[in-house]
Chain A
Amino acid sequence: MIEFTIISWIMALLVIGAAIYAIETKDLLSSAIAAGVASLVVSIMFLILQAPDVAITEASIGAGLTMAIFVYAIGKTGRWEK
């Protein structure tokens, strides 16, 4: 089980780093992509927590469709945060 603990800590650091980057960067496009990365890593966490149904849903919705909708909306409104 110790390998799973190490993998979980690495993924936790990835998620936290991606979330901080998503909030702090001035570029809204990379912000949306960083939020999608956090979502994707969280879906692997769901898989380790024995929730395969939720992992499939989160991988295709959280990392795919949500990010695409954000990217389309950013394309309509403007990329840079003042």
Chain B
Amino acid sequence: MSIHIDPLEKRWISVIGGILIITWAVIVYYAAVDDVSPPSNVEVIDSSKLHLASGVGGGEFMEKNLGVKQDAQGNITVTMVAARYGFYPLHVDVPVNTPIKFRMASFDVLHGVLAPFSNLNVMIVPGYVSEITTNFTKEGDFPLICHEYCGQGHAYMYGMIHIVPKDQFKPKMGVK
């Protein structure tokens, strides 16, 4: 048994189909070609033991290991802890126009981080490491803003990224 569909409505249905296919195609194209995909590393860590060398994922987020690191190939990684109410270390220097990998873990509750006017936007869920790579194209000071309610001091949670010219960049932690 078929249903009655008005000819005009049939045309509208093809328009809907067209809109869907175009939208899907654009997103899949950029995901495949430009590797535009959301932060999704599915990596577990013991959030209550970030300060210890032991435990799941232990050591990486100890205080002495936080901050900016550059490896032998020149890749830059920023390791940060999100905790009520700040992103630690509170200040980091990174070079402009360079891919920067951020690795972040929460020490306590749910947090999120946003650097306005960039694609640095990720949830920081206790028990998981958040990894996101971004490229800052403008020099200057950018606040890191916590964008998920994390307690009554939530609005005061911040950090600061200083984006410096490439020739002024000196990784504080030295070459790993």
Bound pair (A, B): no
